[in-house]
């Protein structure tokens, strides 16, 4: 981005000081650790108050700052734009910049698979368009405007990931970006603590269409009855994907091994599609991306080629090599019951000359259903396939109990979340070069610490 401070002030419906109007802003930042020279510093008020870090922003050569009017103005004559709420102004500026660049927008949400789907969609669209996509998982009320304001002026399509854990969040984000295409990957149990049921989660996910353009399209998992029912009243067009025959994009002949998954699409039976990821559950993510690419009239050959080589965001079912040359399936960024079941099934089928070890961390934000949903993972942990089970976190005690009649105590280990050092030591004592290790847990458990030590 490149805007004069006067233009930013006009977008926010305020005025800039006469001496500051011609200051050039080349980026925005709410974090002084990553702030670039020429940035507009946006101090957000949360656990920490960003206003307290203005001097660091100045040291990083910020050009100006937003300033919340209920805070005492700085005395150093640094250029400020006074606003009532810095977060609201941040979002308002993003909406202005989005309208200025005017790309088409693809918005992606879902209980599972939204980051991978976002990456797949972007890879397909990049074959024919200038595309900007959400970095990592910048998918909330701060991350979405950050993604927008990071667009290059020549961006033709913006692919933006949207997360939520409360009602109203997707409504707000959807109205902010006004998508041309909205995608719902699936309805699972993620954040069920805040919603109480999958029905309510489906209601919240459908908020993504609240800002959908009148001539836009919703792409969704047609195998999910909760979504089928809720789309009946939708005025915009829809496209569905899944494994059943009543979908617009149906997967056939799914074959998965330790490195890739292949399938065919019923409407393109002559073409074989391959994605470089383990697990048949990634087929639906690819189908959603293909449906988006088809909406933009891209040739199937181009889309297939893009999926074959696309790069997924780190720590999404990523194969790594450990210090002992063991192979590690890293999926440590997030976890929920649906995702955990799927990856456990896939991992259990990966061929190996050694043993399979699984390290599972707590799945968070499950509320009163936590014990039941953790214990339910036992259905996909077979002692004939899994040598030993390492569990980390208080919620995993329920899974330990559920596995007690399958595994001897020597093969079933439980650790508190602050005992990862001991977990690592015990696991390291057992690993051989021919073994496989799965790491899966919610980010709040920080199994990435175990992953880093193993690698």
What's the CATH code of the domain at 82? Answer: 3.40.1390.10
**Is there a domain that residue 258 lies in?**
yes
Domains identified in the chain, total number: 3
Q: Which of residues 309, 340, 362 is at a domain's end?
A: 309
- Residue-number span of the structural domain to which 331 is assigned: 318-454
- Residue 450 shares a structural domain with residue 346: yes
pLDDT at residue number 328: 94
pLDDT at residue number 191: 60
- Residue 81 shares a structural domain with residue 145: no
- Residue 58 shares a structural domain with residue 159: no
- Residue 255 shares a structural domain with residue 124: yes
Binding positions: 110-116
- Are 85 and 105 contacting, i.e. CB atoms less than 8 angstroms apart? no
**Is there a domain that residue 210 lies in?**
yes
**Is there a domain that residue 328 lies in?**
yes
**Is there a domain that residue 95 lies in?**
no
- Are 246 and 222 contacting, i.e. CB atoms less than 8 angstroms apart? yes
- Residue 303 shares a structural domain with residue 364: no
- Residue 72 shares a structural domain with residue 119: no
Structure tokens at 265: 């699409």
**Is there a domain that residue 91 lies in?**
no
Q: Tell me the C-alpha distance between 131 and 124, whole Å.
A: 10
- Residue 303 shares a structural domain with residue 255: yes
241: CATH: 3.40.1190.10
441: CATH: 3.90.190.20
Q: Which of residues 86, 118, 142 is at a domain's end?
A: 86
Each residue's pLDDT tens digit, 305-315: 999 999 887 65
- Residue 301 shares a structural domain with residue 329: no
pLDDT at residue number 316: 66
Q: How many CB atoms lie within 10 A of CB 80?
A: 19
Angle of the 198-205 helix axis to the 169-177 helix axis, nearest 10 = 20
pTM reported for the whole predicted model: 0.86
- Residue 182 shares a structural domain with residue 116: yes
Q: Which of residues 309, 337, 367 is at a domain's end?
A: 309
pLDDT along the chain (455 residues), means of 10: 95 91 96 96 95 96 96 91 97 98 97 91 98 90 96 97 91 98 88 74 95 98 95 96 96 88 94 90 95 98 96 77 94 85 90 95 88 95 97 96 96 96 96 96 92 93
**Is there a domain that residue 53 lies in?**
yes
- Residue 82 shares a structural domain with residue 130: no
pLDDT at residue number 16: 87
- Residue 349 shares a structural domain with residue 285: no
- Residue 81 shares a structural domain with residue 227: no
pLDDT at residue number 190: 65
**Is there a domain that residue 358 lies in?**
yes
**Is there a domain that residue 94 lies in?**
no
Binding positions for ATP: 110-116
């Amino acid at each position: 981005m490149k805007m004069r401070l006067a233009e930013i002030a006009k977008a926010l419906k305020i005025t800039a000081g006469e001496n500051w109007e011609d200051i050039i802003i080349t980026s925005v930042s709410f974090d002084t650790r990553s702030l670039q020279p020429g940035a507009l510093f946006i101090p957000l008020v949360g656990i920490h108050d960003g206003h307290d870090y203005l001097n660091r922003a100045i040291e990083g050569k910020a050009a100006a700052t937003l300033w919340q009017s209920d805070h005492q103005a700085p005395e150093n004559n640094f250029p400020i734009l006074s606003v009532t709420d810095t977060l609201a102004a941040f979002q308002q500026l993003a909406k202005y910049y989005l309208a200025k660049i005017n790309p088409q927008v693809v918005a992606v949400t879902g209980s599972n698979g939204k980051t991978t789907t976002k990456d797949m969609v972007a890879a397909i669209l990049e074959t024919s368009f200038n595309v900007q996509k959400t970095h990592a998982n910048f998918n909330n009320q701060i991350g979405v405007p950050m993604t927008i304001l990071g667009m290059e002026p020549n961006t033709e399509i913006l692919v933006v990931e949207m997360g939520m854990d409360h009602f109203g969040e997707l409504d707000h984000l959807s109205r902010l970006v006004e998508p041309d295409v909205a995608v719902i990957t699936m309805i699972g149990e993620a954040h069920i603590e805040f919603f109480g049921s999958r029905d309510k989660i489906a209601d919240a996910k459908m908020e993504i269409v609240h800002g959908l353009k009148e001539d836009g399209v919703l792409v969704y998992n047609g195998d999910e009855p909760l979504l089928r029912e809720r789309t009946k009243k939708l005025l915009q067009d829809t496209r569905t994907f899944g494994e059943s025959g009543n979908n617009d994009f149906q997967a056939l002949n799914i074959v998965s091994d330790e490195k890739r998954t292949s399938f065919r699409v019923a409407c393109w039976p002559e073409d074989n599609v391959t994605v470089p990821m383990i697990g048949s559950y990634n087929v639906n993510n690819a189908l959603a991306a293909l449906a988006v690419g088809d909406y933009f009239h891209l040739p199937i050959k181009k889309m297939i080629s893009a999926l074959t080589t696309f790069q997924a965001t780190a720590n999404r079912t990523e194969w790594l090599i450990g210090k002992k040359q063991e192979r590690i399936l890293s999926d440590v960024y997030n976890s929920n019951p649906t995702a955990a079941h799927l990856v456990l099934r896939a991992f259990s089928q990966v061929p190996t000359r050694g043993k399979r070890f699984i390290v599972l961390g707590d799945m968070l934000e499950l509320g009163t259903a936590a014990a039941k949903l953790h214990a339910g993972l036992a259905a996909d942990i077979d002692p004939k396939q899994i040598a030993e089970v390492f569990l980390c976190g208080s919620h995993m005690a329920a899974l330990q109990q559920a596995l007690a009649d399958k595994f001897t105590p020597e093969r079933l280990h439980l650790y508190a979340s602050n005992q990862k050092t001991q977990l690592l030591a015990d696991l390291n004592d057992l690993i051989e070069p021919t073994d496989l290790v799965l790491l899966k847990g919610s980010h709040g458990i920080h199994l990435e610490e175990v992953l880093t030590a193993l690698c």
